[in-house]
Amino acid sequence: MNPIDAALPVTHIPSSEIVGVGIDCEACPRFLELNETELARIYSSRERDHEKGSVRHHEHLAGKFAAKEAVIKALSAIAPLEPASIEILNDPRGRPFVVLPPELGLHYGVLVSVSHTSDIAMACALAFKK
Q: Which positions touch ligand COA (CB under 6 A)?
A: 60, 63, 90, 93-96, 114-116
Pairing of strands 120-129, 18-27: antiparallel
Nearest to ligand COA of 38, 119 (CB atom) = 119
Its sign, for the CA torsion 20, 46, 96, 43, is positive
CB-wise, 21 or 48, nearer to ligand COA? 48
Q: Which residue's CB is nearer to ligand COA, number 34 or number 78?
A: 34
- Residue number of the CB atom closest to ligand COA: 94
Cβ 79 to ligand COA, closest distance in Å? 24
What's the min distance (Å) between Cβ of 54 and ligand COA?
Answer: 9
Give the whole-angstrom CA distance, residue 96 versus residue 44: 15
**DSSP-derived 3-state class of residue 4:** helix
Residue 17 or 119 having the CB closest to ligand COA = 119
For residues 44 and 87, is the Cβ–Cβ distance under 8 A? yes
Rounded to 5 degrees, what are φ and ψ at 21?
-125, 155
Minimal distance, residue 48 CB to ligand COA, in Å: 12
DSSP 124: E
Give me the least distance between CB of 65 and ligand COA, in Å please.
11
